[in-house]
Amino acid sequence: MNPANPAMTLNSLPNEVFIQILSDFSTRTLLPLTSVNHRFYALVLRILHYRMLLSMPLKEYKLLLECFHPSSKLTEPHVFCKYLGTDGLNERHDETGLLYENIDAAHHPGRVTGLYSRFRPEVSSDEEDERGTIGSKFGFPPGRMLLLSEVVGFIRADINGGREGKGEDAVIREVTLDGYEDFSQLCVVANLVQVKPGTSLLLSASTIEDGFVRLWREWLRGQSGRMEKAAEIDWEEDSERMSFDDDILWVDMSKTVGLKMHVRPKAWDPSLPVLIHQDDRNDDSWVGYEVILEELHIRSTRLLMAVEQSKEEQKIHQTNAMVIGAPIAVS
């Protein structure tokens, strides 16, 4: 080997060439390349950072959440979610923020896949009016279906506008447990959809996660007690105390999608039939809670993959589109 004329290797290529080549790769293909070496990690990280900045606000898409008890799968309306932000992702591409701090080669892949995008489930007024109309057809409000049909665990989405401390866009699921039940469960389906502007027509839909979360009796009781204590302190002064790891229930084992919830006891409605005397209740009897769906957490890389998959499917559909019309005369 001539020292004056060293052999060219892969590492001899400038970063601009690598970025030009790697930019055509999908996110799913890029992620394994972070473990090649430190240079590949830095280049892939820069590409993913740029893609997240463009894709995470979901300007062309909407996040649709389905959260329902198995008994109300066909009646529970879906809700759209508002993007809140991605913790650790700096809005400027200047190599600052959580992604670039204290970089250790052993934790490179985890740093990339450890970002979560947060969304707030919101219920539109149209959907709430529609639910009220459906309930009025049967002559009673939807909440009374629980007692009239004796279906334990019936839940519904509601705008809790009259409740103190919550806005009109709060999404609530009512969960009930009979004396013999240790837990209830909610089916959770997160979809990335593209809606035609000005309509409710879905142009495309891609499922990010389809699973369920279990709400154990002890967990509901503990979260409910925590909520009551939190109501006694000022939110602004003690906001840091309100963040707990067990507030988030993960839908899958890999923690791709999770729901941040707050729980409070279900207010007793004197207009409903009395099934059990208040004095006869104990920890092992019938209990009812209101589960507030505060935030939906989705792993940012998984969300980015869903966006890319949706765009690829749209390209295929456009390529295979068949146009039917009158023949065009060519002179």
> What mean pLDDT, rounded, does the chain reach?
74
> What are residue 125's phi and psi, to 5 degrees?
-65, -30
- Of 25-29, 311-315, 323-327, the poorest mean pLDDT is in 323-327
pLDDT at 225: 82
Residue spans of the domains in the chain: they are 10-58, 62-269+282-316
* 86 contacts 114 by C-beta, under 8 angstroms: no
> What are residue 48's phi and psi, to 5 degrees?
-65, -35
* 109 contacts 150 by C-beta, under 8 angstroms: no
241-248: Cβ within 8 A, 24+ apart: 246/219, 247/223, 247/294, 248/297
> What are residue 313's phi and psi, to 5 degrees?
-65, -35
Q: What is the pLDDT of residues 272-303, one digit of tens each?
A: 555 555 555 555 678 889 999 999 999 999 99
With cut-offs at 50, 70 and 90, classify the pLDDT of residue 35: confident
pLDDT at 159: 33
pLDDT at 56 exceeding the cut of 70: yes
Question: Residue 32 has which token pair?
Answer: 């394994």
Q: What is the mean pLDDT of residues 5-29?
A: 85
pLDDT at 65: 95
pLDDT at 63 exceeding the cut of 70: yes
* 87 contacts 115 by C-beta, under 8 angstroms: yes
Give the Å distances, CA to CA, from 265 to 35, 63, 88, 108, 268.
48, 29, 34, 43, 9
Q: Per mean pLDDT, which of 131-140, 167-176, 219-228 is the most reliable?
A: 219-228
Q: What is the mean pLDDT of residues 191-201?
A: 84
With cut-offs at 50, 70 and 90, classify the pLDDT of residue 116: very high
Question: Residue 330 has which token pair?
Answer: 């060519």
